[in-house]
Homo-oligomer: A and B are copies of this chain.
C-alpha cells in the first residue's frame, strides 16, 4: 500500500540523508583545517596588521599587489641568487619588516630565525597534544581494566596488553586502522569524537609547522570518524555493524574527495584500498557523499582561489608519441623511489618500535622538526610547503610564471636546476622515511606524491635539455611545429604529474583510483595514456621489489588481525591441521561461575582473551552453540554487579558457586531473576533454600547456530568463510555433528603469514 511504500521510502532515504550530512560535515572540517593551517603557515613569514586572524591570501583580498621580494631567497651557500614573486599588500607585514631589519644578510637571518623559531613552537604544542591523547587513552584503558577485572590472571593479561600496545590514535594517517576497522576488528575510541578533535588540532599544527607530511590520509580518518558519530542519528545504522561499515566505506570516499577534489577518485580509492566489503549500493552512496563534500568545500572556498586543492592545475596540450618512452621511464623510476621510501620507512618504524626512540615520542618529533627546518631551508625547493612545491612542480612554465625557479629558459640553466632538484629529492625522501610513523598526525600521500613529482620533473627537464640541444635529431624533429607555435616541445610539468601518479603507486600500490585522482586533479583526460603507462610500470616495478603497499605493511607492523581479501594462497595445511581444541563448555556437567572464569582465563592465557569464545557441547561432543568471550564477560559482569548490590543488602552467598545454564529449558529458577531490578527482594523465611537454587541463564548470549565446516572441506571454503562471510571463528565438525575443534581467525592469520614468508 501507499503507507508501506512511504515507510519503505523513508527507510531507504535514511542512508542518503546520512551520507549527505557526512559529506557536509567532512567539508566543514576540511575547510577549518585548511584555513587554520594556511594562517599558521603564513604566520611563519609575517602577519596581517589589519586583521591578525587572516592569512596572507585573505589579508590581501582584493588589494593584492604583485611584488618582487628578494627577502627570503638571498645568497645561499650554493651561490644561488633568486627573487620571489609574492602576492602581498601593505596590510601584510613580513617579520624582517616588523623587526626593522634592513641589511640584506640581516633580513635573511631574521627570516631564518623566525622560520626555525616558530616551527618548534608548533611542534612543542603538538607534542603536548599528542601526550594528552596518549594519556587519555591510557586512562580509558585503566577504566576498562577496572571494569573487566576478574581474577589475577586476567589482570595480568590486561597489563601486558597496556604495555605492548600504547596506541596513539591520532598519530599517522589513520588509513591502516580504518582498513582494519572496516575489516571487522574493533578499535575502541578510534573513531570517536575525542580522537577526531585532537587529531584535527594536531594535524593543523603538524602540517603548518612544515613537517614533511600531508593531510590526505587523516582526512580519510576524519571522514570515517564523522560517519561513525553521525550514525548515532539513525538507530538502524548505529545498531547494525555491517550497515555502519557500509557508511564508513562511503565516508572514506568523501575524505579523499576533499583532500584532492576528486570525488570519483575518492570512491575508487575507498573501493580499491580502504574498504573490505564494498557492495554496489555503497558505491552510489559513496559517490553521493564524495560529491556533496567536494561541492560544499568548493563553495566555502578555503584558499580564496576557488580551488579545493592547492596544487590543482589544468593542461590542454597534446603529447608527442616519442614521449611515451620517457613517460615509461618516469613510471619505473618514480615507482622505484616510491617503493624505496616505503621500504626504508617501514624499516625505520620497526627500528623505532624496538629501540629507545619509541619511548620518547615528543622528543623524537622535536628532533625531526628541527632536522626538517635545518635541512629544508638550504634548498630553495624543499623550503616551500609541500602543497606549494607540488603546485610548482605540476605547473607549466610561462613568461609570467617561472614556477619558483623550476623553469629553464635555456638549456644551459637546466643542469643547475637538476642538481638542486636531485638534492630536494634526496632530502624529501629522507624526511619522509623518518617523519611518517612518528607520533604526529599526518599522511604519506602528499610526500609520496612529491617524491614522484620531483622524479618526473627531473626526467622532464632532461627531456627538455635533449630537445633544446638536439632539435634536429630524430625523434625530436617532430617537435619543430610546436617549437614555432609556442616555443617548447616537452612540458616538464606533465612529467611531474605522470611521475606523481607513479610515485604514489609505488607507495600505496593502488592503480585505477590514482589514475582517476590525477585526472580529476589536472582536469584533463588528455594524458590518460601516459599516466596509465607510468602507473602500470610503477606497479610492476614496485611489486617486483616487494608486494605490499605501505598501509598493509603498517597493519602488519601493528599486528592487527586483518585478513587480506585480495590475495590468493597455495595452501600447505589442511583444515584439521589448523584446528585447535580449546576449552569448551559441557552441558552434561554443571558449570559454575568459578569454573567459567577459570576457562576464560585459560583462553586469555592462550591469547584468545578478547576475540575467543567457548563452544557449547552436549552429550557425545555434539556442537550445540557458541558463546563469545565478549558476550560472556558482559554477562559475568552483570551478574557480579547485581549480586554485589544484592549481597550488600541481604545475601551472603559467594557468586562463584552460582550454576550457569546455557540452554533454555535447563533447570532454572525464575524467582531470583524476578526480584532483581523490580523491587527489594521479599524478605522471606525460605532464604536458605532460595540461595541454593540460585542459577543464571546465559542462553540469551549463546549463538545457537554457530558457523561450522566439515573437517574434510577444502581450505578455499574455509578461507571464503573468513573472507566473504566475515567469520571470526569457524567450528570444525564431523558429519555426525561431533565437535572436533575450532579454527580462529588469529590462527589462520598466523598460518597465512608463515605461508607468505616461505
Residue A631 interfacial (CB < 8 Å): no
Residues of B within 8 A of A279 (CB): 565-566
Q: Assess whether B523 is in contact with A525, with CB atoms less than 8 Å apart.
A: yes
Residue A89 interfacial (CB < 8 Å): no
A525-B9 Cα distance, complex, nearest whole Å: 32
Which of B263, B539, B725 is within 8 Å of A528, CB to CB? B263
Q: Assess whether A734 is in contact with B735, with CB atoms less than 8 Å apart.
A: no
Which of B532, B566, B704, B734 is within 8 Å of A710, CB to CB? B704
Residue A622 interfacial (CB < 8 Å): yes
Which of B511, B624, B705, B712 is within 8 Å of A713, CB to CB? B705
Q: Assess whether B272 is in contact with A280, with CB atoms less than 8 Å apart.
A: yes
CB-CB contacts of A24-36 with B at 8 A, as 1s and 0s? Answer: 0000000000000
- By beta carbon, the residue of chain B nearest A280 is B566
Residues of B within 8 A of A544 (CB): 9
- By beta carbon, the residue of chain B nearest A617 is B735
| Of A41-49, A93-101, A283-291, the one touching chain B | A283-291
CB-CB contacts of A261-277 with B at 8 A, as 1s and 0s? Answer: 00110010001100000
A706-B9 Cα distance, complex, nearest whole Å: 40
Q: How far is the CB of A55 from chain B (nearest CB, A)?
A: 27
Which of B264, B271, B707, B711 is within 8 Å of A516, CB to CB? B264
Q: How far is the CB of A212 from chain B (nearest CB, A)?
A: 29
If the complex has contacts A525-B519, A705-B713, are A283 and B736 also in contact, measured as CB distance less than 8 A? no
A291-B295 Cα distance, complex, nearest whole Å: 30
- By beta carbon, the residue of chain B nearest A287 is B512
Residues of B within 8 A of A622 (CB): 735-737
Residues of B within 8 A of A9 (CB): 544
Which of B539, B705, B717 is within 8 Å of A705, CB to CB? B717
Q: Assess whether A618 is in contact with B735, with CB atoms less than 8 Å apart.
A: yes
Residues of B within 8 A of A536 (CB): 288
Chain A stretch 595-621: residues in CB contact (< 8 A) with chain B: 618
Q: Assess whether A735 is in contact with B623, with CB atoms less than 8 Å apart.
A: yes
Chain A: interface residue total (CB-CB under 8 A): 59
Residue A724 interfacial (CB < 8 Å): yes
A284-B713 Cα distance, complex, nearest whole Å: 31
Residues of B within 8 A of A38 (CB): none
Residue A281 interfacial (CB < 8 Å): yes
Residues of B within 8 A of A300 (CB): none
Q: Assess whether B713 is in contact with A710, with CB atoms less than 8 Å apart.
A: no
Residues of B within 8 A of A281 (CB): 566
Q: Assess whether A712 is in contact with B708, with CB atoms less than 8 Å apart.
A: no
If the complex has contacts A511-B287, A525-B523, A736-B622, are A714 and B710 also in contact, measured as CB distance less than 8 A? no
Residue A529 interfacial (CB < 8 Å): yes
The 3 closest A-B pairs by CB, nearest first: A737-B737, A705-B710, A705-B713
- A-B contact list, 23 entries, CB within 8 Å: A264-B264, A264-B512, A264-B515, A264-B519, A271-B271, A271-B283, A272-B280, A272-B283, A284-B511, A288-B536, A291-B532, A519-B525, A618-B735, A622-B736, A622-B737, A705-B711, A705-B717, A706-B710, A708-B708, A724-B725, A736-B736, A737-B737, A737-B738
Known contacts A264-B512, A291-B528, A708-B710; 14 additional CB pairs below 8 A are A263-B532, A271-B283, A272-B280, A272-B283, A284-B512, A287-B512, A287-B532, A519-B525, A622-B735, A622-B737, A705-B710, A724-B724, A735-B737, A736-B737
Residues of A within 8 A of B (CB): 9, 263-264, 267, 271-272, 279-281, 283-284, 287-288, 291, 295, 316, 511-512, 515-516, 519-520, 523, 525-526, 528-529, 532, 536, 539, 544, 565-566, 618, 622-624, 704-714, 717, 720-721, 724-725, 733-738
